[in-house]
Amino acid sequence: MFSLYKKELQSFFFSPFAYVLTALFMFIFSLAFALQIGNLDSNTLKFSFPNIFYNNFFYFIFIIPILTMRSFADERRGGTEVLLISSPLSVFKIVMAKFFAIATVFLFMLAFSLFFPIVTAINGEVMWSSLICAYIGFYFWGLACIALGMLLSSLTEYAIIAAILGEIIMEGLLFLDNFALTSLVAAYPALDSIVKWFSLQHRFYYFAQGMFRLEDLIFFLSAIAVVLAWTTIAIEKRRWSRA
């Protein structure tokens, strides 16, 4: 499993792919950082790094499907999937190796963004407890989206289709927050609870406020586990059909 994990990491870092996506992530973060500083005025009490994540989900979400689109689609299109699934590794280990590799790349991207709070801390004050919670919440949000992107990649042999479907579905998940604010949902408390329960952005909101809630962490871990299980089942089914 570790050998496949290492191979997947090399496919990212021995090519411009990971660095281009990291540069894109840093561009979005830098732009949001500059805009938030530019909007500071005498009525602003404090600068909030968690708000950069929360207010820019729409832009950050474009990166995840691009990161995951090749995970299985390229294997099918290139004809290497047969060799992969016929290897001594179980399908579960294959899925986990690819997941951990992409999760490592995502962590690499997040690590670069620490440049901004470090510089801010040198020249001012940073609420590190709130910031750490925001990073943890954003990372688990990203892991849930990575698992979903891998599932979509396992269902098609065209990476671009996996990316487009990922964008559509993930933007649809973001729409849940806006849908929860409508009068239709407000009129039905039960519906409001269901919509908010499934909203990834709503779950991240508490992390952004510096509140580390166990139920939100369990939700993200459960969502990741369920989607990865679906990915394993989809590939296992194809493995047996080939046999």
Q: What is the pLDDT of residues 94-145, one digit of tens each?
A: 999 999 999 999 999 999 888 888 888 887 777 787 888 888 888 998 999 9
* Residue 11 pLDDT > 80: yes
Domain membership flag for residue 229? yes
Domain extent at residue 236: 2-36+47-242
Number of domains in the chain: 1
Domain membership flag for residue 91? yes
d(CA 242, CA 25): 39
Model pTM score = 0.88
Domain membership flag for residue 42? no
Please, what is the average pLDDT of the chain? 82
Of residues 111, 168, 172, 98, the one with CA closest to residue 138 = 111
Residue 113 DSSP SS3: helix
Is the Cβ–Cβ distance between 34 and 121 less than 8 Å? no
Domain membership flag for residue 41? no
Q: What is the pLDDT of residue 231?
A: 94
| Ranges of H-type helices in 48-90 | 49-55, 57-60, 63-68, 70-78, 81-85
Q: Who's near 28: CB < 8 A, 6+ residues apart?
A: 56, 59, 60, 63
Question: Cα 195 to chain center, whole Å?
Answer: 20
Query: What is the rounded average pLDDT of the residues 52-68?
Result: 81
Domain membership flag for residue 53? yes
Domain membership flag for residue 80? yes
Is the Cβ–Cβ distance between 149 and 61 less than 8 Å? no
Domain membership flag for residue 171? yes
Q: Which amino acid is at 19?
A: Y
